């Protein structure tokens, strides 16, 4: 059987499995795997594992033992299916997370009913990303049904907690060696970037807290105190005025979409001031104010430079007035990642998209982060999209 014939047979099996694929996607949507707190993970992992096992794949469940978020009430359970051909390598790993963010309000249908109407699937996770996970599973099964012998191995994993960083999911699989450069050659994560787009990487993230330390006093005599809220306002203004315009001039060569997100940026995500832990605010000058900053940095910037720049501004504002004092605490750092130029996985996907759609693929970068970072930074699997 020629390579072209093999591809045609696999694509025919994919088309024949259309209704099965839709049914499996809606089955997954009907399992409300809301994160936080991490509901029904075991049920969903077992649903995926049972399907993969029925197709003849070897199946392994990996619980995130030792992770604080892995509890009896909300266990973190991942699943890996493996279809092996002639030899273990090369190994292509297809990954999808099955946790979803809370549904929120405003739905006109039940977000966990898995409704199919007018050729569309409605529900929380229909796009992000239970459909992608189901597609990865059926793509692998189509190879088996077509009778195509693999020159290596395909793995399919369903993982948890991507929406909260992926540390009990893909990161845990990397830590425990289930995903590693020693056994994994390529990785594809079918996040919902669009049918004709290949996401080759993402920007970096530096989240940090700044606390302004003031002096408490009664609100009737504010001159006896120092308002931490006023000091935080001064810092926020300084960051916007001094750093904001400079970041807007820093543009990455990575094809991040939308276009505006090719620029470095900083945002204040939250501010909390006053006496902590009180449901009713006290009549006092605020002696504490915390702000959480979200700095998105591009591949052309280093984390060390990014942090040093932030510290310099904080210390400069601090020095402008006697008694002004700030402390800085890092919350999260994610370094930028990008697939190498000419990566075989990018070339193969581009060819596949052209064959199926008749159109060329476009390479894009993500404005936010996803589990790509763990494949590259923790497992050393560079050929990941």
- Phi, psi for residue 28 in degrees, rounded to 5: -70, -40
Q: C-alpha angle with apex 372: 134 to 382, nearest 5 degrees?
A: 115
Do both 130 and 177 map to the same domain?
A: yes
Examine the pLDDT at 219 and tell me if it is beyond 70: yes
**48 lies in some domain:** yes
Closest CA to 133 of 61, 80, 199: 80
pLDDT, one tens digit per residue, over 239-253 is 999 999 999 999 999
pLDDT at 276: 63
Average pLDDT of the chain to the nearest whole number = 96
pLDDT digits (tens, 9 = 90+) for 138-177: 999 999 999 999 999 999 999 999 999 999 999 999 999 9
| Bond prior to 90 in cis (omega within 30° of 0) | yes
pLDDT band at 293 (very low <50, low <70, confident <90, very high): very high
Q: Give bridge partners of residue 338 from the DSSP assignment.
A: 201
Residue 30 shares a structural domain with residue 162: yes
Q: Is pLDDT at 112 greater than 90 in this prediction? A: yes
Sign of CA dihedral 139, 144, 147, 150: positive
What pLDDT does residue 115 have? 97
Q: Which of 27, 246, 200, 212 is nearest to 125 (CA)?
A: 27
pLDDT band at 267; cut points 50, 70, 90: very high
Helix/strand/coil for 258: coil
Bridge-based pairing state of the strands 186-188 and 204-213: unpaired
* pLDDT bucket at 282, cuts 50 / 70 / 90: confident
Determine, yes or no, domain membership for 286.
Answer: yes
Domain co-membership, 327 together with 341: no
Dihedral sign of CA atoms 296, 298, 304, 309 in order = negative
Q: How far apart are CA 141 and CA 81, in angstroms?
A: 11
Q: DSSP per residue over 208-256, as a string?
A: EEEEEE-B--BTT-GGGSB-HHHHHHHHHHHIIIIIHHHHHT-B-SS-B
Domain with residue 40: its CATH number is 3.40.630.10
pLDDT at 296: 98
The domain that holds 269 is classified in CATH as 3.30.70.360
pLDDT at 1: 74
Do 104 and 114 belong together in one domain?
Answer: yes
- Residue 9 above 70 pLDDT? yes
Asked whether residue 385 is assigned to any structural domain, the reply reads no
Q: Is the distance from CB of 275 to CB of 281 less than 8 angstroms?
A: yes
pLDDT band for 223, please (50, 70, 90 cuts). Answer: very high
In a domain, 154, yes or no: yes
User: How far is the C-alpha of 273 from the C-alpha of 290, rounded, in Å?
Assistant: 6
Domain of 368, in residue numbers: 3-201+336-377
Query: Nearest CA to 45 among 148, 172, 143, 139?
Result: 172
Express each pLDDT in 336-357 by its tens digit.
999 999 999 999 999 999 999 9
Radius of gyration of the chain (CA): 24
The pLDDT of residue 42 is above 70? yes
- Flag whether 149 is in a domain: yes
Alpha carbon of 226 to those of 215, 323, 326: distances in Å? 5, 8, 13
Predicted pLDDT of residue 275: 77
Query: Is residue 383 included in any domain, yes or no?
Result: no
Asked whether the predicted pLDDT for residue 280 surpasses 90, the reply is no
Q: Could you tell me if 363 and 245 lie in one domain?
A: no
Report the SS3 class of residue 30: coil
**Residues 284 and 146 grouped into a single domain:** no
User: Which of helix, strand or coil describes residue 277?
Assistant: coil
Helix, strand, coil proportions of the chain in percent (round to 5)?
Answer: 35, 25, 40
Residue 323 has pLDDT above 90, yes or no: yes
Contact 173, 80 (CB under 8 A): yes
Q: 209 and 112 in one domain?
A: no
Beta pairing, strands 115-117 & 120-122? antiparallel
Whether 384 maps to a domain, the answer reads no
Q: Is residue 326 part of a domain?
A: yes
pLDDT band of residue 88 (cuts 50, 70, 90) is confident
Helix axes 3-16, 130-145, angle to 10 degrees: 130
The answer to whether residues 159 and 222 belong to one domain is no
pLDDT recorded at residue 87: 85
Model confidence over 48-69: pLDDT tens digits? 999 999 999 999 999 999 999 9
Strand partners, 103: none
At residue 279, the pLDDT reads 63
User: What is the tally of structural domains in the chain?
Assistant: 2
**Whole-model pTM above 0.85?**
yes
pLDDT at 185: 98
Distance, CA of 365 to CA of 300 (rounded, Å)? 14
Q: Are residues 129 and 68 in the same domain?
A: yes
pLDDT of residue 277: 59
Same domain, 55 and 32: yes
The alpha carbon of 332 is separated from its chain's Cα centroid by a whole number of angstroms, namely: 13
């Amino acid at each position: 059987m020629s390579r072209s014939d093999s591809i045609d047979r696999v694509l025919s099996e994919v088309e024949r499995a259309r209704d099965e694929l839709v049914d499996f996607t809606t089955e997954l949507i009907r399992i409300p795997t809301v994160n936080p707190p991490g509901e029904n993970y075991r049920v969903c992992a077992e649903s995926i594992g049972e399907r993969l096992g029925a197709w003849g794949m070897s199946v392994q469940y990996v619980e995130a033992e030792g992770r604080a978020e892995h509890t009896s009430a909300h266990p973190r359970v991942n699943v890996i299916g493996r279809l092996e051909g002639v030899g273990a390598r090369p190994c292509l790993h297809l990954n999808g997370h099955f946790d979803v963010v809370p549904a929120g309000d405003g739905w006109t249908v039940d977000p966990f009913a898995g409704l199919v109407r007018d050729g569309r699937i409605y529900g929380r996770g229909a796009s992000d990303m239970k459909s992608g996970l189901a597609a990865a599973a059926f793509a692998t099964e189509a190879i088996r049904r077509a009778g195509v012998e693999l020159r290596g191995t395909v793995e399919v994993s369903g993982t948890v907690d991507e929406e909260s960083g992926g540390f009990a999911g893909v990161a845990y699989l990397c830590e425990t060696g289930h995903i590693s450069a020693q056994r994994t050659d390529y990785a594809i994560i079918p996040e919902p970037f669009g049918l004709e787009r290949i996401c080759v990487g993402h920007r970096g993230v530096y989240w940090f807290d700044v606390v302004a330390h003031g002096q408490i006093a009664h609100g009737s005599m504010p001159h006896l105190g120092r308002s931490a809220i006023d000091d935080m306002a001064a810092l926020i203004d300084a960051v916007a005025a001094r750093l904001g315009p400079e970041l807007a001039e820093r543009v990455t060569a990575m094809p991040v979409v939308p276009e505006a997100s090719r620029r470095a940026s900083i945002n204040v995500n939250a501010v909390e001031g006053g006496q902590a832990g009180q449901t009713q605010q006290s009549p006092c000058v605020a002696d504490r104010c915390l702000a959480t900053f979200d700095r998105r940095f591009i591949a052309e910037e280093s984390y060390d430079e990014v942090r040093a720049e932030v510290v310099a501004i904080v210390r400069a504002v601090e020095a402008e007035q006697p008694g002004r004092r700030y402390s800085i605490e890092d919350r999260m750092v994610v370094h930028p990642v990008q697939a190498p130029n000419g990566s075989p996985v990018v070339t193969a996907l581009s060819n596949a998209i052209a064959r199926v759609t008749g159109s060329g693929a476009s390479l894009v970068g993500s404005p936010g982060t996803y589990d790509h970072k763990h494949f590259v930074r923790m497992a050393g699997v560079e050929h990941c999209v």
